[in-house]
Structure 1
Amino acid sequence: MSNSSSPIRVLVWGENRHEKIEPHVAEIYPDGMHTTIAAGITENLGDRARVSTTTLDEPEHGLTDDVLADTDVLVWWGHAAHGEVADEVVDRVHQHVLSGMGLVVLHSAHWSKIFGKLMGTTCTLRWRSERDRELVWTVDATHPITEGVPNPIIIDQQEMYGETFDIPAPDELIFISSFTGGEVFRSGCTFRRGNGRIFFFSPGDQDYPVYHHKDVRRVIANGVAWATTDRPRRIPTLLRYDTDDFYNGHGYTGPIAD
C-alpha cells in the first residue's frame, strides 16, 4: 500500500524475448524494453516512484507473492510468449489486482493471460504492422492520465491496432487512436476490478522506438500514478462471511441462525 509520504512501488514486467533474438529490436532497446519503460516512469515521476524490473525467465517470472505484496502498480508488456506464463502466477497476480494492486497493460499485452482473465473476453483486435503513423487523440481532457500530454500525440512509426477490440465497455475512455488507413482504436482505457485499477495503453510495438517517445512515456507514468491507491490491500468480500452479520436492506440482523 502506498501513501502520500512514501514512493509508489512500481514493478515493470517484460517478456524480454524479442530483444534477445531479433537484432533490430536489440538495437532499439539494448537493455530491454522493460528497462526503457522503467526509465520513462522514473523520468516523469522522479522521487514519487521506486521503480524496479523483472522478466519472464526469472523464477516464478519474478512475480512471487512477496514481490507482489510489495508492489503498488505492476506494468506488463508481453507479446510472443503469453502461453509461457504459468497459470498459477496469473492467478496470483489476479488476486493481488482484486485486492488493490494497480495494473498498467501495454500494447500486445492485451492478449496476456492476466488481462484476459480480468476482462473475461477474448481481447482480440485487428492489426497491421506497416510502419504506420498513429495519432493518439485525447477523449477525456479532464482525466489525470492526460496531464501534460499534447492532443494528439503523434507517433511516426507504429503498428496499427484497429476495431473491433473485444473488451468490455471501459469504465473510462481516455484516448482514441487513428491511422493512415482510416482505422480507429480505443487506445487508452481504464477498468476497475475489485479494489484494483487497470489502465490499458496500446502504443508500443517492439519493432519501433515508441517507448523512447517522450509523450508515450508521460502517459505511462500518469497511468501508474492513477492506478495507485492508498487503501489497505484486501479482496472485497460480503460482510456476512467476515462477521456472520447479515444486511437485510434496513439494518444488520446479527449472527445468522443455523
Structure 2
Amino acid sequence: MVKVTVWNENRHEQKNQAVREVYPQGIHGAIADFLQQDYQVKTATLDEPAHGLTDAVLDDTDVLIWWGHIAHDEVDDGIVEKVKQRILGGMGLIVLHSGHFSKIFKALMGTTCDLKWREADEKERLWVVDPSHPIAEGVGEYIELDKEEMYGEHFDIPAPDQLVFLSWFAGGEVFRSGCTYQRGKGKIFYFRPGHETYPTYYHEDVQRVIKNAVQWAKPVKRPAPVYGNVKPLEAIKTKN
C-alpha cells in the first residue's frame, strides 16, 4: 500500500476559531481522513521535532503532501534540503494551495512562485484541460467551488510538464491550478484550491483529485541509475 505523509504547518487552526470550526482536526486531519480509505497515512506538523519529518518518517513515505501559508520562513533549511533530496530520489510531492510559496516548492521550481491573489467569497471553476491525465480520472469537465480565494496570473513558475487544470474566477482572472513536474526521479503536482476558511477539502471532486495525484506521484520501483565513470558494456554475443 502507498504510504502518504500529510504535512501541515497547523498554525491557522491554532490562531483562528473560524478555521477550527471548518477543520476541527486540522487541515492535515481532514486530508488524512479521506486518504486513509485507500492509502496508509500519517500526519506531520511544523511544531513537532524536525517538523515531524524525521529520517524515519521520510524513509517510510512514498508521497508527501504539503500545506503551508503563514509560517514558510519557520521551516528549517536543513529539513527542506533533506526533503528535496528524497524527492530527487523518487518520493512524490503534492503541494496544495498556498504551499506554492513554501521553501520546498520554490527550491524545486527555481523561481519566486509568486502570483496575484484576492481573499473573497468568490466562485472558482477548475476546468479539466487534460482529460487524458490520470490525475483527472473520474472528474467531469470542471470542478466548481462556490467560495474560494482567488489566485491570478502571472504565476511565476516554470512551464509545467503537463497542465491538468486551469481555473477561472468570477472576478475574471484565470490561473494554472493543476501543474505537474518531474525533478530527478520524483514527481510533483501543484493543486491550487484549499484556502483555510473554506471547506474545500470536503469537496468530493477535490478529494478525488488528491487521491489520484497520490497514485500518480508514487515512486517507481526499479534499480537506482548508475552514475559516474563506467567501463564499456560487453559486446552482445550472437549465436552462430
Query: Is the structural similarity TM-score above 0.5?
Result: yes
User: Which consecutive aligned stretches of 4+ in structure 1 deviate over 6 angstroms post-superposition?
Assistant: none
- Deviation per CA, 1:108-155, whole angstroms, max 9, x where unpaired? 000000000000000000100111100000000011100111221010
- With structure 2 as the length reference, what TM-score do the two structures score? 0.94
Choose from 71, 79, 82 the match for 1:89.
79
Could you say which residue in structure 2 is the equivalent of 1:245?
231
Choose from 13, 16, 19 the match for 1:25.
19
CA distance in structure 2 between the aligned counterparts of 1:16 and 1:173, rounded to whole angstroms: 29
Q: CA deviation at 1:245?
A: 3.5
Q: Is 1:63 matched with 2:50?
A: no
- Deviation per CA, 1:38-69, whole angstroms, max 9, x where unpaired? 11223xxx3x4101111000000010122111
Could you say which residue in structure 2 is the equivalent of 1:100?
90
Could you say which residue in structure 2 is the equivalent of 1:14?
8
Superposed CA RMSD in Å reads 1.6
Q: Is 1:35 matched with 2:29?
A: yes
Choose from 25, 40, 54 the match for 2:44.
54
Could you say which residue in structure 2 is the equivalent of 1:148?
138
The letter for the 2-side match of 1:72 is D
Q: Note the 1:1-258 alignment, pairs <5 A.
A: 7-42=1-36, 46=37, 48-232=38-222, 238-240=227-229, 244-245=230-231
Number of matched pairs: 235
Q: CA deviation at 1:237?
A: 6.1
Distance 1:176 1:63, change over 3 A: same
SS at match of 2:212: helix
SS at match of 1:245: coil
SS at match of 2:122: strand
CA distance in structure 2 between the aligned counterparts of 1:237 and 1:134, rounded to whole angstroms: 46
CA distance in structure 2 between the aligned counterparts of 1:14 and 1:174, rounded to whole angstroms: 24
Could you say which residue in structure 1 is the equivalent of 2:237?
none
For structure 1, the 5+ residue unaligned runs are 1-6, 253-258
CA distance in structure 2 between the aligned counterparts of 1:173 and 1:90, rounded to whole angstroms: 25
CA contact (8 A) 2:90 2:220 kept: no
Distance 1:237 1:158, change over 3 A: farther
Q: CA deviation at 1:233?
A: 7.9
Could you say which residue in structure 1 is the equivalent of 2:238?
none
For structure 2, the 5+ residue unaligned runs are 235-240
- With structure 1 as the length reference, what TM-score do the two structures score? 0.87
Q: CA deviation at 1:231?
A: 2.1
User: Percent same amino acid at aligned positions?
Assistant: 56
The letter for the 2-side match of 1:13 is W
SS at match of 1:223: helix
